[in-house]
């Protein structure tokens, strides 16, 4: 089971790292807060899955400690998004709707595939695989929101939908971090 899980998290890490490059490039070209938030989230997901691949054979205490650290890592995209959102508030220019929606559609495909790969392992290895699964699940929701943002932006010509979705993605990461922290603390107490 551990060997299968390790293979899956490595594949998920590679997919996330590859799409980080795509989404970050489009975010930079269009000035999209939501794409920036999601691209940083792809980078964070790649990092989390690489850490999980290395930690699967660690002791229960070691995995629980890493789970607590991963909870902190899950907060990084939220902080980066808030910084980008501040810049959007100063200069509220809407991103180009078509690249926004198309990039969101690509992200949706990657995230759904990763969530399905990780779903069968979400109960194994405690907070580590929970962190990976929650990230993929939340990212699927974020991708749907980005697609909708492109459609709404095309209709309204406003920067607000992009800004609000970017902040929503940050809020989802904070909630996932809280859940992983709780699971890791419980594991740490049980192992101690």
Q: What is the pLDDT of residues 85-97, one digit of tens each?
A: 888 888 888 999 9
Q: What would the two tokens of residue 91 be?
A: 């200069």
Q: What would the two tokens of residue 35 be?
A: 């794409």
Secondary structure letter of residue 159 according to DSSP: S
Backbone angles phi, psi at 26, to 5 degrees: -65, -40
19-40 burial, b at 16+ Cβ within 10 Å, e below that, comes to bbebbbebbeebbbbbbbbbbb
Residues 6+ apart with CB under 8 A from 68: 127, 181, 184, 185, 188
Task: Write down the domain spans for the chain.
Answer: 2-191
* pLDDT tens-place string over residues 54-81: 887 788 788 778 878 877 877 777 777 7
Does domain 2-191 correspond to CATH entry 1.20.1510?
yes
Is 34's pLDDT higher than 80?
A: yes
**pTM (predicted TM-score):** 0.81
Give the model's pLDDT for residue 124: 67
């Amino acid at each position: 089971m551990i060997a299968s899980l390790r293979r899956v998290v490595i594949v998920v890490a590679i997919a996330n790292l590859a799409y980080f490059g795509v989404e970050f490039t489009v975010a930079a070209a269009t000035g999209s807060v939501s794409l920036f938030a999601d691209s940083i989230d792809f980078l964070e997901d790649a990092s989390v899955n690489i850490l999980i691949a290395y930690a699967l054979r660690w002791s229960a205490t070691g995995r629980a400690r890493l789970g607590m650290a991963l909870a902190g890592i899950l907060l990084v995209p939220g902080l980066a998004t808030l910084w980008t959102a501040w810049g959007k508030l100063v200069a509220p220019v809407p991103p180009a709707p078509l690249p926004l929606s198309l990039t969101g559609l690509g992200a949706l495909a990657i995230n759904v595939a990763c969530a399905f790969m990780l779903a069968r392992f979400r109960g194994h290895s405690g907070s580590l695989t929970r962190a990976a699964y929650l990230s993929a699940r939340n990212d699927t929701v974020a991708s749907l929101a980005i697609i909708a943002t492109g459609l709404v932006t095309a209709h309204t010509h406003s920067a607000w939908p992009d800004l609000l979705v970017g902040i929503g993605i940050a809020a989802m990461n904070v909630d996932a971090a809280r859940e992983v922290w709780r699971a890791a603390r419980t594991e740490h107490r049980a192992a101690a």
